[in-house]
Structure 1
């Protein structure tokens, strides 16, 4: 099963989702990330934070949803509707859920405050991914309505 973490720029939150998911996922589950309008480079703070947490970003890059190596089974958008971000809508025949996370790349403040914003985004994504992976995935794979309900519920959790 392939899970796509989708955002606009594919440099920070979607990258963190992809990396955390792949770090924790059981065999047979994989994450990819993409953006509707990728900025073409990974956010250096996001990469540094993931490395600090022992999570590899080797081989990851900012890419368009038009350049995906596979068709995802599940699409999780991570843009922040509360901040009036325009969230891209993946139009393929997939299960979709929205896990809004405030973009730490646009946070303004001193170094300590910016680092805290990245830690917060990481913490929310990691918690939600852990909740996802704690689900009875084998049985939910054959019950898309229940899986969607669970993913939507998880998307409302902060930690």
Structure 2
């Protein structure tokens, strides 16, 4: 049986920090089994420097990083997503585009490091904490036997992962 490559879209409102870091993490940790993408409902148009720095330290080619609209993934010619994960509460509650196919949907609430103010150490800690939470959840995602799960079982497992490290 041929090994399937799963397309995963991470969504946030601004697509400048959390979703960008999740895209980088999954593209590195997924080892070719996943194609990760990220987008936002109201993209800021720039990638936060600390998100870029953490992704680069992971070994991700940050030249590919850009803040973009989720409209790029809902129109003709867009890759069909197998999984769509919202990372911020705003994006989870917004009216999303109609996605091609029937992707498994999940919400993984992650505190927004870009919203943290203070000195550089305080902000860096917020980014590092968000990155660590995303990394743990993505490690769990890549360990799932997705090819053995039906749509509802996969979606349930994705929701479970969203609770890891929360609270």
* Deviation of the 1:108 alpha carbon: 1.2
Are 1:11 and 2:16 an aligned pair? yes
Please point out which of 104, 111, 116 is paired with 1:102.
Answer: 111
1:15-34 equivalent positions in 2, closer than 5 A: 15-34=20-39
Aligned residues: 153
Partner secondary structure for residue 41 of structure 1: coil
Structure 2: stretches of 5+ with no match in the other structure: 1-5
TM-score (norm 2): 0.85
* Deviation of the 1:28 alpha carbon: 3.8
Are 1:146 and 2:153 an aligned pair? yes
Are 1:53 and 2:41 an aligned pair? no
Q: Give the 3 Å change call, closer, same or farther, for CA 59–86 of structure 1 in structure 2.
A: closer
Partner secondary structure for residue 97 of structure 1: strand
* Deviation of the 1:33 alpha carbon: 0.5
Larger mean CA deviation between 56-65 and 109-118 belongs to 56-65
1:87-126 equivalent positions in 2, closer than 5 A: 87=92, 88-90=94-96, 91-92=98-99, 93-126=102-135
* Deviation of the 1:89 alpha carbon: 4.3
Provide, for residues 98-138 of structure 1, a one-character-per-residue CA deviation record: whole Å limited to 9, x for no partner.
00000000101221111000000000000000001111122
How big is the alpha-carbon RMSD for the aligned residues of Structure 1 and Structure 2?
1.6
Q: Give the 3 Å change call, closer, same or farther, for CA 146–53 of structure 1 in structure 2.
A: same
Provide, for residues 42-100 of structure 1, a one-character-per-residue CA deviation record: whole Å limited to 9, x for no partner.
11111012222333322121111111341312100000x3xxx3533433232100000
Structure 1: stretches of 5+ with no match in the other structure: none
